[in-house]
Amino acid sequence: MDPFSNPFAPGAGSRPPELAGRDTILENARISCGRALKGRPARSMMLLGLRGTGKTVLLSEIGRIAESEGLLVSKVEAPERTTLANLLYPEMRKVARSLSNTEAAKQYAQRALSGLRNFAAVFKIEYGGLAFGVEPAPEAGLAESGDIQHDLPDLFGQIGRAAQAAGKGWLLLIDEVQYLSEKDLAGLIVALHRMSQDGLPVIFVGAGLPQVARLAGDAKSYAERLFSYPAVGALDSQAAGKAVKKPIIDEGASISEDGLHEIIDRTKGYPFFLQELASFAWNNAPGPEIDATDVVSSYDETVRSLDDGFFRVRLDRLTKAEVQFVNSMASLGDGPYQFSDIARAMGRDPRSLGPVRASIIFKGMIYSTDHGYLDFTVPLFADFIRRQNP
């Protein structure tokens, strides 16, 4: 079939042609945006899921919904070893400058910009290259303590009041929340809690690996009440079928029921893998219908593509000791894995493996599913490891 007409989008963070199975999450986000603009309490969200489940796609979609509702939107990704102050400063400055163009909001926006100068100074943020136009002079006492838990709520408050005066709202989207330090995560939670208490139109939607719920609770105990934590996992058979079938029909082609079931079964409903296998099946099928034979003949090519890209880049980030650790995990079958079993498989004392385990968790490759248990953050990663070590 014509590869130029292939509707599937297997790239990282690419929006699939049919965003199936996520209606509840998107509707709740839309309601939160609408409530914020009306001055009603609006609950922030933390999307939790493994790699390849579509969390980044959902963040982008929620951003589009928010913009259509009249909110200003900031989207950032938290890379490893970057402070929240450095991450948020350019976005807060951009939002404050935008709001300063509205006369009713100008006073609050100017105060926010003044506070941001203090903030940049105490957190040693390089901002000279970002300068544009005349900034207000720093205001003594505003966002200059050097403590993120004190300064960030002050800045969020000024931006929130400016947005409220302008009849707008501000949505902050942060991907890969698990990479924030506990101190930074606590500062973010405190700031959002203050916005909720003050009824200001500032909403947050974050996305991260499953351990983020525990990390947020460890940072601030009230985080479990501040956020909702929708799980973003594999699609059920109905949603997975719709995600594959509808784009094919929209292109004037078709897929047999056996072919559809073959795709769903082999990918276990994980969105990224669905897109990969459906894309290869489209390219390899003579058409105009994709059948089970086309899917089966495309599977090995799909696996090679995933092994060389999606899986390999993650394994390549690990040291030799860390590779040995994950190899031992995969040798035990499919997880979750008891830590003591991993140590036994390696012939090691569990206490000696603590630093290795912590490093792999920090790199986002594994996570703690329960006390004493670990699993991979990438679906089907154990299968990949076993393919490398037949």
Here the tokens at position 319 are 């040291």
Q: Write out the DSSP string of 148-196.
A: HHHHHHHHHHHHHHHHHHTT-EEEEEEE-GGGS-HHHHHHHHHHHHHHH
Does domain 23-228 fall under CATH 3.40.50.300? My reply is yes
For residue 367, the surrounding DSSP H or E stretch is: strand 366-370
Q: Strand, helix or coil at 229?
A: coil
Q: What is the DSSP letter of 129?
A: G
Task: Give pLDDT, residue 132.
Answer: 38
State how far the Cα of 209 lies from the Cα of 220, in Å rounded to an integer: 18
For residues 62 and 355, give the distance between their C-alpha atoms in angstroms, rounded to a whole number: 37
| Strand 227-228 with 289-290, pairing | unpaired
Q: Cα separation of 388 and 304, whole Å?
A: 11
CA 116, chain centre distance (Å): 26
Task: Report the C-alpha gap between 262 and 293 in whole angstroms.
Answer: 9
The residues, any chain, with a CB within 8 Å of residue 296's CB and separated by 6 or more, are 262
**Domain 237-314 architecture:** Orthogonal Bundle (1.10)
> Running DSSP on this structure, what letter comes out for residue 2?
-
Going from N- to C-terminal start, the domains of the chain cover 23-228, 237-314, 318-388
Q: How many Å apart are CA 50 and CA 234, to the nearest integer?
A: 9
Alpha carbon 245 to chain centroid, angstroms:
26
pLDDT, averaged per 10 consecutive residues of the chain (390 residues), comes to 92 86 96 92 94 95 94 93 92 96 96 93 74 56 90 97 96 96 96 95 96 93 93 96 97 97 96 96 95 97 94 94 97 96 96 96 92 95 91
CA dist 165 and 183 (Å) reads 31
Q: How far is CA 48 from CA 242, 278, 341, 385, in A?
A: 23, 25, 27, 24
Q: Which of 314, 362, 354, 368 is nearest to 81 (CA)?
A: 362
Matching CATH number, 318-388, of 3.40.50.10310, 2.40.50.140, 3.90.650.10, 1.10.10.10? 1.10.10.10
pLDDT at 12: 74
Rounded Cα distance, 261 and 258, in Å: 5
Determine how β-strand 169-175 pairs with β-strand 366-370: unpaired
Give CA–CA dist 345/347, Å, rounded: 6
Looking at residue 246, its pLDDT comes to: 97
Instruction: Confirm whether 237-314 and 318-388 share one CATH topology.
Output: no
Instruction: Give the pLDDT score at 134.
Output: 44
- Please state the separation of Cα 343 from the chain's center in Å: 31
Cβ-contact 55, 152 below 8 angstroms: no
Task: Identify the pLDDT of residue 131.
Answer: 41
Tokens of 334: 């499919």
Concatenated DSSP letters for 249-274?
HHTT-EE-HHHHHHHHHHHTT-HHHH
Question: Which pTM value belongs to this model?
Answer: 0.91
